A and B are shown apart, each in its own frame.
Chain A
Amino acid sequence: MKRDTDYLFAINKIKVLENRMLSKGILSRMIDAPDASDAYKMLQETPYGEFLNEYDSPYDFEAVISKHIEDVYRTVDEATGNASFTRFFRIREDYLNCKILLKARNFDGDNYHLSSMGTIPPETLSNCFKNEDFSELPEYLKVAVEESKELFSQTGIPGYIDFAMDRFMYEHLYEMAKADSFLKDYIEREVDLINIRSFIRIKLMDESVDFLKAVLLNHGKLDRDFFYNVFNEQLAGLPDRLKFTDYASVVEQGVKSWLESGSSMEMERLCDNYLLEYAMQGKFAAFGTKPIWGYILGKLNEVRLLRIVMVGKLNDIAKDLISERLRDVYV
């Protein structure tokens, strides 16, 4: 029987670990630092610090991030005694890795970074793709990869790989999430926001409704018919249509900025913040699974922010530009 007191040990361990997460303060100090290596050094005092000796160049920050996330996953696995929490996120990485490999092969590129945070080691994955032999992959990945390839060879459009893989991935994630009401809700919201963005993109590209049909993901709170119905309306009217949903403010500000600037950057930021805010429920819960999901989601958000800052610093991007792209933090 599942009780909401099953993970008390893990929850309270996590509450302490949350105190050590990167604050807005340290991120903005990093942005203010004179150069990338000074910014990098500021991580010394944070949980990332323990890997800094091993990887002392700021260009190694990706390695530090994956080491740290591995650490986070291991801690969660050990504290909960249940690998299904991190498995949810590892499987997502598997799909993303496969997506990269599928596309890399099609473009003959070999300069790609695979995430080592999945369930399958990157070497195994790339070997499978090199040898065209997917028998070692788990059934779900095998099906997804082969069907995506099939679809690509039929249409010749690389973008279809993304659509197909995303569909398989979200089907799978939803399947894993549906037993947990918090996570199910989270995935549904994530799907909605992805669908809304795809919708806007397709409208801006003047594509057909058939294209939309191929792209929309299932399991959102907004059903497909909603999108078909508003497809023939002006894009500027979308915020009105969503006025009484949870996404009203995200869509209103996001669409406005998108239409004005022609860039989806602000919209992406708003969506990330929206999902983070949802995840933050975990911070205030003392029982159940919310605090654990919230912590992992918060950590992944933190890693995303760290990437924005480090990439910005390494490329000498102006401070305000980096700050502009920064999202909220979990703590």
Chain B
Amino acid sequence: MAVVNMKKMTLVGLKDNMDDIIDTLHKSGSVQIIEITEEEDNASFYQKGLSDIEDRLNEYKFAIDLLKSFNPHKKGMFEQKPLINDETFNEHLKDELKYLDDIKNLHHLEEKQNELNNEKARLEGRIEVLTPWKDIGIALRRLGKGKYATIKLGTIETKNLPDFQKGAEELTYFGYEELKRVKNTVFMAISYLNNLEESANNLLMQSGFSALADEGSGTPEEIINSLNKRINAINENLAEVETNIKDIDKDWEAFTALYDYYYIQKEKFEKYDDLLMTRKTFCLQGWVPETYCEQVKDSVESTSPYCYVEFKDPAEEDNPPTLLKNNAFVTPFELITELFSLPHKGEIDPNPIMAPFFFVFFGIMLGDVGYGIALSVLMWLGERLIKPSGQGKKLMDLLLLCGISSAIWGAVFGGWFGDLFGIPALWFNPLNDPMTMLVFSLALGVIQIFTGLGMKAYINVKNGHVIDAIFDQGFWLVFLTGLLMLAIPNFRNIAAIVALIGALGLVLTQGRSKSGVIMKFLSGLVSLYGLSGYLSDVLSYSRLLALCLSGSVIAMVMNTLARMFGGGVLGFIIGLIILIVGHVFNLAISGLGCYVHSSRLQYVEFYGKFYEGGGKPFNPFKLSLKYYNYQ
């Protein structure tokens, strides 16, 4: 039993108990709720509640984000989320008013912080403008437009200076004095009589004079000093605000817990949309894996005695989600199929038959005892440390198994970190004998393709299409077997006969859906062209050779490089570093290639023969918390 049977659950209960029942289902995590109403009748019922919940969520999110900017609450990479239960939720809920007060406080503090930062930026801007003038001991109060004359400080670029000087000479009663030069900027003081204002302004504008504008009254240095004093005061205030914010960090646990609590509520409320409701009752439908039916029923009935629960097999028009269950060896390989497409309703689970192929192919491609063991050990350690779940766990298990396979094939082909130790192969070394390896690869391909055809035939027979199985797969198997036997010298005659029978069968049957004898015969004949498809499928397995070689050659290159540094302690150390870096690199890049190409062989060459997919994964309504794990 590989595809789990799904039951359709119908639950009718009292609206008063709805919240509790949905809560129970949510926490059991084994029901996928079906949307049975598309109308928005329930909208008025949950909209208000949902919008309140979202408000709360936003509040807590604000508080959490703000606190995080001071204390990131970073968890170690391998640290688990803390556990939480209803009791803790209730405890925090009891004190919620206090926490909301604290959040209000946080809002104030944040506002204040922003204000202070803005002012600080403004003051710093002023200091930046004044700093170049620091050594000029003129009180700024004396600048500007006086009764008769105007005095200004300002800068112009050196390149505009000649024009400026010329213009200034043309004006009587216009004085200027260069104070200092920094790079391409000239700092100067200018003065002119007020009745010259217009032409003076013209000149200043043309030469790109930018006047010093500051509302302070002392000398630039005095102003800068007083500004710095104010910045210090602001910094003190800021520090105080920060301590106040950090004080509220004691609520971190409560904030995150309540965030998760409201998140659960939100998910629950959103599900109300999918239910059918009357004034007093509600009806819910969902998919439950057969094995969980009793458990779900018990937990619902213990929550509320006044409800009706029923389980039915999916009807003709139903499209139940797919859940797979396999033994410990096959389960990791489910990942490969999940990433392709799950079996649709009524289709068989291809994993048990695919897993051995993937196992072998990956092993051959990586083909190294050292790499295999390293990969397996890494994955084994990783699982202990990270404790992955779902697809992450499947991937690590998969690589762990594939590592074992690689180690086995590595021994067969004599790969121990490439040729590092010069250990001879148990069978042969593909690098010395690529032709044998090619034949071996293609032979494996033939086996898998025949298996695929066999699977298709099996599915046809199972669905009652015996004729199709014989004509579409049987004759191809006969034809291909005949062709293969041609390669064996002593069987030439028999082989030719077998191939001919197969070919004849195909020519006679492949056009059976066409009308008219000639059309039938012609399409039968054309179907033989399908041979090219099988040929290219088989040739595709030459990638087993290619990846096997590329992995071992890179390993060899690394070993050769390392050996070049041969003698002495230093040479040994450099060599060792090259070996470690090089082999890690090779393991990563070859491992990726092996994974992708093993998958591809399954998807294109193998599944193409018999597997359709298109099922939707079983996606139960369950808790997914951000900060805690629910117990």
Interface positions of A (Cβ within 8 A of B): 32-34, 38, 41, 44
For A41, list chain B residues within 8 Å (CB): 51, 54-55
Chain B interface size, under 10 / 10 to 19 / 20 to 34 / 35 or more = under 10
For the complex, what is the distance from the CA of A32 to the CA of B47, rounded to whole Å? 9
Shortest CB distance B42–A (Å) = 11
Query: B54 to chain A: which residues have CB within 8 Å?
Result: 41, 44
Give every chain A residue within 8 A of B40 (Cβ-Cβ): 32
Which one of B43, B51, B58 lies within 8 Å of A38 (CB-CB)? B51
B58 adjacent to A44 (CB under 8 Å): yes
- In the complex formed, the residue of B with least CB distance to A29 is B47
Q: List 10 A-B contacts (CB under 8 A).
A: A32-B40, A33-B47, A33-B51, A34-B47, A38-B51, A41-B51, A41-B54, A41-B55, A44-B54, A44-B58
- Name the A residues within 8 Å of B58 (CB-CB): 44
Q: How far is the CA of A33 from the CA of B54 in the complex (A)?
A: 13
Chain A contacts of B55 at CB under 8 A?
41
From residue A256, how far is it (CB to closest CB) to chain B in Å?
Answer: 29
Closest residue on chain B to residue A53 by CB atoms: B62
A32 touches B43 (CB 8 A): yes
Interface residues of B (CB under 8 A from A): 40, 43, 47-48, 51, 54-55, 58
| Complex Cα spacing A44 to B58, Å | 8
Instruction: Give the complex CA separation of A33 and B51 in angstroms.
Output: 9
**Distance to closest chain A CB from B275 (angstroms):** 17
Q: Of all chain A residues, which has the CB nearest B43?
A: A32
**Cα distance A286–B40 in the bound complex, in angstroms:** 38
**A101 to B43 alpha-carbon distance, docked (Å):** 44
Contacts A32-B40, A41-B51 supplied; 11 other A-B pairs, CB < 8 Å? A32-B43, A32-B47, A33-B47, A33-B51, A34-B47, A34-B48, A38-B51, A41-B54, A41-B55, A44-B54, A44-B58
CB distance from B54 to the nearest CB of A (A): 8
CA distance A38 to B48 in the complex (A): 9
Kindly provide the distance from the CB of B227 to the nearest chain A CB, expressed in whole angstroms. Answer: 28
Residue of B nearest to A52 (CB): B58
Q: How far is the CB of B103 from chain A (nearest CB, A)?
A: 14
Shortest Cβ distance from residue B591 to the other chain A in the assembled complex, whole angstroms: 25
Measured between beta carbons, the chain A residues less than 8 angstroms from B48 are 34
Nearest B residue to A28 via CB reads: B40
Q: Which residues of chain B are near A34, meaning CB under 8 Å?
A: 47-48
B43 contact set on A, CB distance < 8 A: 32
How far does the alpha carbon of A63 sit from the alpha carbon of B608 in the complex, in Å? 55
The interface residues of chain B lying within 8 Å CB-to-CB of A32 are 40, 43, 47
In the docked arrangement, what's the CA distance between A216 and B141, Å?
A: 64
- How close is B63's CB to chain A, nearest CB, in angstroms? 14
From residue A11, how far is it (CB to closest CB) to chain B in Å?
A: 24
Q: Within the complex, what minimum Cβ distance (angstroms) separates A30 from chain B?
A: 11
CA distance A147 to B558 in the complex (A): 75
Cα distance A38–B47 when bound, in Å?
Answer: 10
State A44–B47 Cα separation when bound (angstroms): 16
Q: Which residues of B contact A33 (CB under 8 A)?
A: 47, 51
Question: Ordered nearest first, which 10 A-B pairs have the shortest CB separation?
Answer: A32-B43, A38-B51, A44-B58, A32-B40, A34-B47, A32-B47, A33-B47, A41-B51, A34-B48, A33-B51
